[in-house]
Every structure is written in structure tokens, then in C-alpha cells.
Structure 1
Amino acid sequence: MTKALPIVVGVDGSEPSLRAVDWAADEAALRGLPLRLVYASLWERYEGTSLADDVGKPDEQVLAEDVVDSAARRARRRRPDLDVSVDVLPEEPEYALVRESRLATALVLGTRGRGGLTEMLLGSVSLTVAAHADCPVIVLRGSHDDRAAAGTRGRVVVGVGEDGKDSPAVRFAADEARRRGVPLEAVRAWRCPAYETTDHPLMSGEPARLHEERAVEALDTAVADVPADVELHRHTVEGHARRVLLDAAADAGLLVVGAKRRDVTFGLQLGRVAHAVLHHATCPVAVVPHRV
């Protein structure tokens, strides 16, 4: 029997990471999956091996073990029946969490941890992992209530791009909406390029209408396989995709966007829309990879 892949959470003792533990515990319970808590840090680079010889363990490793044990107790208090495991890894958190994503159903992160600069809108770890992970990455943006549970009132919003009918982002969003018992709002942004506009009174509005019709067709194609038991709302909106999605998700429980993954080892591979909503959304954001 194949073992179920866990929900993985990156923890470091910061308040954002503890909020991520709460959210991930709910998500794991919703899906009937185990929860895995991971602390990753290169403490050996800074403390050296001599300290480990003197006291048994580097101070940072002792701290890391305390952090994951405390997070595990928190998750079990929230969800007593949850299968929770922990791990402490002596390596850069970005690399460790991207590797963890290969054997995870989803990966949950806070906006930034103890090392985040105050002027950053999103921590470098969260941004890098969202850009390279093999599984969906949920970053806990906004002043939400740290809940991902059945009966949660906030709807799920998904941005519909160019993936076509078999969209991983739409599938993920529909599954989240169904499990929570909330509506799914599928949004497709469209724009009429300036060079297609005309001042002729008989042609006024014609190019815009054609672009909107194409947007409606693309949206209908993308949501064609959404299960019938999911309450579905469709919207096409004129404007920049990032602004349209941020407005649509202003009071949502979750915003879902896709991110194309190409077979290269450099660059963020995130896209401008995903990058923008990760920095500015007022609700949790799920970035769902799509191999091309």
C-alpha cells in the first residue's frame, strides 16, 4: 500500500511559521494526511564542530529541536488525531524545503521567518520555495484566522490562465472548495491592446468584445471538469491579471494561482502574476506548479 504523502510545514519558531502550523494542521485533517514539520538551518557553518564536541550539540541544533517539538505539540493540541512527525535538517532552508516538496502533497509556509528583513514584503525562503517546489506551496498572507477547515466561510478564488482544460491550479482550487464546503470563484482577466482600439463610431467596442468573448471561452474550458457538487462562479474582468486577482480575493479564504515549471535550473520560474499576489494578497496564496 502506498503511503500517503504528507502536508509539510517549514518552521523556525517565528510567529508566521506557527500560524502556518495551525493552517497546515487543519489542511492535513481535511485531507486525512499526516503532517510533517521541518526545521532547516546551516548552524554548523556558524558554530563549528568544536562546540558540538564540548556540549554534545550546537546551540542552534538544540534550539531547532525545541522549535519543532513545540510546533508538534501545538499541532496535536489543535488536531489530536493528527499523525505528526518532525525533522531537523542542517542545510539551507530553501534547498531543504524544495527537496521536501518532491514527497509532499503540499507545502505550507509563513510569509517570512526570524531572518526576514522588515522591509521585505515576502521572505526570500518563501519566495524561492514557491518558485521551485514540485508540489503546491501555500504561503499564509493576510490577516486571516489561521484556519483551513470544513465550513470556513471564505470562498476559494482561482486565477485562470493559459493552461487550458487540464489546469492543475483549477483542480487544486476545486478540491479545496469541495473539502471546505465553500464556493469556488474562477476569474479570468482580459485586456484589449491599445493598438486595437478605434475612434470610428461604428467600430466602437468591437475589439474589446472579441477579447472578452475569448476570455469567456478560455474560462469555460478551464472549469469544464469542476465537479458538479462544487458551487462555481465564473467572472471575466477587464484589467491587469494581478490587480484583478488581488481585488477578487480581498475577502477570500484562499487564492490559487498557477506557475509554469520549465526544465531549467536557474531563474525563479514564478511569473509576474504569482509574484505579485505573493507579495500583496490579503489572504493565503497557493502556488500550484504546472510542468511545460
Structure 2
Amino acid sequence: MERLLVVGVDGSADSLRAVDWAADEAATHNIPLRIIHASRGERYTIANTAASIHPGTIQMESHHVMDHATKRAFLRHRSLRISSVILNEFPIAALFRASQDAYGVVIGSRGWGSEARPRPLGTVAMTVAASAMSPVVVVREIGREPGKRFHRVAAGIGPAQGTEAVLEFAVRDAALRMADLEVVYGSYPYPTDCLPESHARHISACDPNEAEPILERVLRERAPFDDCPRVQRRFVRANPTDAILQASSAADTLVLGACRRDSHVGMQLGRVSDAALRNSSCPVILVPYA
């Protein structure tokens, strides 16, 4: 079965930016786009009481949101295969379920509830990014000129267990975009073995000696396709967060790893991933690994 690229929409400005990005991405990859609107609880955070919203009003608004998003994607790429669905579910549950067999999930950084408060990352975006089973793309307003492209993909390499998944995705993404790939190896300038385990496991330090052979293998496997991207390596012995954010300022996408843990206690995203979602200058793609 052909996998779909899924995008969640609630009518907010960021969700419509996500629709634009997802439509472009689906066209690039030549895969179908599915637009999901999960209407349960929608806009309750804006109205003071859910009882004040008539169910019929919610249904009408849901269809309006979906019609607008679908038309927007179609006008952007008229040959795109688009399907849409309105679900009576909470957005987090709907997008998590959709991620289980999706090519990827695209969401805006903030929805209606977050737009009412000055914060860079909404609850839905944070939770889906931390738990989805497929790659997740978080699209945020970044203040760039519309359509501006750097023809560069940035990848941040952290813990060894996530290196292969991140590099495979980043190399493929750069090849499809006909872009260069910048690989940032970031490590802290001080030892982390002196930190408590609860802190150390969230620090995305990298050993280039372990990561480089993986990158070389991934590039060799891509070589027969004649679209292997040019690779620039950057070794940074400083705060990895600063290096990653700097790389995002001249990239079209930023690819990072996201560990999927069985435990729901503690941070579900590392410090670098969390900072990137809030401050990156380009869309952030989180690639899950176990």
C-alpha cells in the first residue's frame, strides 16, 4: 500500500503554512497528500465554555476549514492526489494514529489555542513531534521571503543510536531536493559523564569517529541513483544547540533525530530538538529512532 503524507489543519495561519509545505513536499516525492482536521475540542480554548458552541456550528466550521485547506493545496499543485477527512477526535490522537502508516506527518508549530498566547510551540505540535511513529515536520513562521530557497539541507548528528536514521533520511531528502547537505557534528566542550544520567541522556553529543563511517556507507548506497548530494561536514565543539540553529539559518530543512522511549516520564524530546522546534529558521524534520 502506498504511504501518504499527512498534514493536520485547524484553520490557523501556521496550519495553512503546513498545508503549503506539505503540498510542495508531496509533489516533490510524487506521493498522495491526506489532509486531516480533528474537530473534537476544536476552538474550545478560544471560547470560554464549550457549551456556548453549538455542535452544528462546529461541523460547519470544520467543513469550511477543510474546504479551504483542500482548495489551497489543489491550487498549489493541480496534479496532486489529495484526500481529506474530518475526524471527531482530539488532534493529538488523530495525528498519532495517522502516523503509524504514514510517510510523514506535517503540522504547524501553533494552532488556534496557541495563537491566543505568545509562545513559539503549541501543545499539539510538541506532543506529536515527541510521539509520532513516522517522521514529523514542524512548520513555523520564520520571517523569510516567500519562496526563498537555499538549496541546502542541514542535519544535526547527536547520539550514536540515532545517527543512521537521521543520515539516511537527510541524504535522501537532499537528493530529492537537488540540494547540498550540511552535516553538523556537535559535541559539548566538556565531559558529560560527570552529569546525572537523567541529564546526560538528553545531551545530543556526537562522536564523529562513529558517525563518519555511517555517512560514507549511506552515500555509497545512494551513488547508483546519480543524485548523491554534495556534503559539507562541520565539526563543532561547542553547545550543539547553537550550532544547529546557526545551520538552520541557511537551510531549507533541518533534520534531527527523535528517540522514541517506552516511558512517558520525563522529557520526550532532547534539549537540542526542543530548542530547534522553538527557534529554528526553517522547517524541522524529526526522524524517529528506537
> TM-score, normalised on structure 1?
0.83
Per-residue CA shift, 1:208-266, capped at 9, x if unaligned?
A: xxxxxx84313313312123421111111111111110112212111111011122345
Question: Which of 169, 175, 196 is residue 178 of structure 1 equivalent to?
Answer: 175
Structure 2 residue matching 1:258: 3-state secondary structure: strand
Could you tell me how far 1:118 is from its partner in structure 2? 2.6
Q: Which runs of 5+ in 2 are unaligned?
A: 45-49, 194-205
Could you tell me how far 1:95 is from its partner in structure 2? 1.4
Cα 1:102–1:177 shift into 2, 3 Å: same
Alignment of 1:19-34 (within 5 A): 19-34=17-32
Paired residues of 2:162 and 2:259 also in contact (CA < 8 A): no
Per-residue CA shift, 1:103-146, capped at 9, x if unaligned?
A: 21011111101111432111111011000000111111323466
Give me the whole-angstrom Cα distance separating, in 2, the residues matched to 1:268 and 1:59. 38
Give 2:135's aligned amino acid.
P
Alignment of 1:106-185 (within 5 A): 106-116=104-114, 117-141=116-140, 142-144=142-144, 152-163=149-160, 167-185=164-182
Paired residues of 2:157 and 2:163 also in contact (CA < 8 A): no
Paired position in structure 2 for 1:187: 184
Paired position in structure 1 for 2:86: 88
Paired position in structure 1 for 2:197: none
Greater Cα offset, 156-165 or 245-254:
156-165
Give 1:170's aligned amino acid.
L
Greater Cα offset, 271-280 or 228-237:
228-237
Paired position in structure 2 for 1:75: 73
Q: Which runs of 5+ in 1 are unaligned?
A: 53-57, 197-213
Could you tell me how far 1:19 is from its partner in structure 2? 1.0
Cα 1:143–1:234 shift into 2, 3 Å: same
Per-residue CA shift, 1:66-120, capped at 9, x if unaligned?
A: 1111111111111111110111111211111111111210111111011114321
Cα 1:95–1:237 shift into 2, 3 Å: same
Cα 1:276–1:181 shift into 2, 3 Å: same
Give me the whole-angstrom Cα distance separating, in 2, the residues matched to 1:64 and 1:30. 28
Cα 1:27–1:66 shift into 2, 3 Å: same
Alignment of 1:1-292 (within 5 A): 3-43=1-41, 46-47=50-51, 58-116=56-114, 117-141=116-140, 142-144=142-144, 152-163=149-160, 167-193=164-190, 215-224=207-216, 225-226=218-219, 227-228=222-223, 229-291=228-290
Per-residue CA shift, 1:167-192, capped at 9, x if unaligned?
A: 21111111110001010111111233
Equivalenced residues, count: 263
Greater Cα offset, 77-86 or 264-273:
264-273
Give me the whole-angstrom Cα distance separating, in 2, the residues matched to 1:288 and 1:80. 29
Root-mean-square deviation over aligned CA pairs: 2.5
Cα 1:26–1:147 shift into 2, 3 Å: farther
Give me the whole-angstrom Cα distance separating, in 1, the residues matched to 2:185 and 2:191. 19
Give 2:259's aligned amino acid.
K
